[in-house]
Amino acid sequence: MSAVTDTVRVPPPGNPITQSVRDSLVVAKRNLIRMSRIPEMVIFGLIQPIMFVVLFSYVFGGSMNIDGTTDSAVYREFLMAGIFAQTVTFATAGAGAGIADDMHKGLIDRFRSLPMARGAVLTGRTLADLVQTALTLFVLAMVALLVGWRTHTSIGEVLGAFGLLLLLGYAFTWVGALIGLSVRTPEAATSGGLIWLFPVTFISNAFVDSSRMTPWLRHVADWNPFSATVQACRELFGNPGVSTSTAWPMQHSVWASLIYSVLIILIFRTLSVRKYRSATA
């Protein structure tokens, strides 16, 4: 009597990078489907920046001195880069609240039980938030055109400016991811994601010329990563607000914006993935 033994061959594991990308896209798709089924998430996200555009343009427009003039039309063009940048950074709160909600409901534990890359859960979530941010920027740009905002450069430079804005927004969603993993409830993540954004966005050149601030505050504003992106967008849009500051980020705003955003992504993605592993261990 002879026995025949069949050898079961286990396929070798795939390329880790390919698997991570594939898993991230799957999670991103899941979050995008969820957003499409809850349209009020997108609608409410659009209301606040539109209100900022209208209020700042028509309430403060005639009282702001930009490039030696108080013309409200000049201020509207000066303002829009700041509003765009503020809008993409405020996506931080949504990213943090979404991840905290997934943690609270146990969804992260379900993902952890699947054979998928650990960082894919967070990367997929931030990619979905990036798509929502891009949609918000598009609608906001249409509103800006209606109130008188115009660009005065080539289409390539305009697209480059929006690329810098999306990169900044993506960088800040990783800050939100870390906050979402560090708190216990979505409500705490929302509060924690917003409270520090107000000084970051207002102690900057977004709404006023930083040269009119007190010296110590001007230095803070000029070296603020948020200010670098705002200044880069003004230059790429051809909008008023040429900086007279000698600070390196203001003199090389495009490069400063790229460097700041990449550093934020590298630092906070590393911290977030490490926090995710320890939180689900």
Residues in the chain where the model's pLDDT stays below 70? 1-16, 61-63, 65, 67-70, 107-109, 112-113, 118, 279-281
Q: At what angle do helices 91-105 and 186-195 cross, to 10 degrees?
A: 160
Placement of tokens 């003199």 in the chain? 251
Task: Extract the runs of DSSP E, i.e. beta strands, from the chain.
Answer: none
Question: Residue 257 has what pLDDT?
Answer: 96
Residue type, 265: I
User: In this structure, what are the phi and psi dihedrals at residue 69, rounded to the nearest 5 degrees?
Assistant: -140, 150
Structure tokens at 78: 């000066």
Which secondary structure element, helix H or strand E, spans residue 221, and what is its range?
A: helix 215-222
Distances from the Cα of 243 to the Cαs of 21, 230, 270, in angstroms? 40, 11, 34
Question: Residue 159 has what pLDDT?
Answer: 96
**What is the spatial distance between Cα 238 and Cα 234, in angstroms, rounded to a whole number?**
6
Which secondary structure element, helix H or strand E, spans residue 231, and what is its range?
A: helix 225-237
Question: Residue 26 has what pLDDT?
Answer: 82
Structure tokens at 210: 């930083």
**What is the spatial distance between Cα 126 and Cα 272, in angstroms, rounded to a whole number?**
11
**Model-level pTM?**
0.86
Question: Residue 72 has what pLDDT?
Answer: 75
Measured over all CA atoms, what is the biggest interatomic distance in the chain, rounded to whole angstroms? 101
Question: Residue 103 has what pLDDT?
Answer: 75
**Do the Cβ atoms of 265 and 186 come closer than 8 Å?**
no
**Do the Cβ atoms of 83 and 145 come closer than 8 Å?**
no
> Residue 66: beta bridge partners?
69
Distances from the Cα of 104 to the Cαs of 45, 169, 188, 192, 274, in angstroms? 23, 25, 12, 16, 18
Nearest to 125 by CA among 176, 184, 197: 176
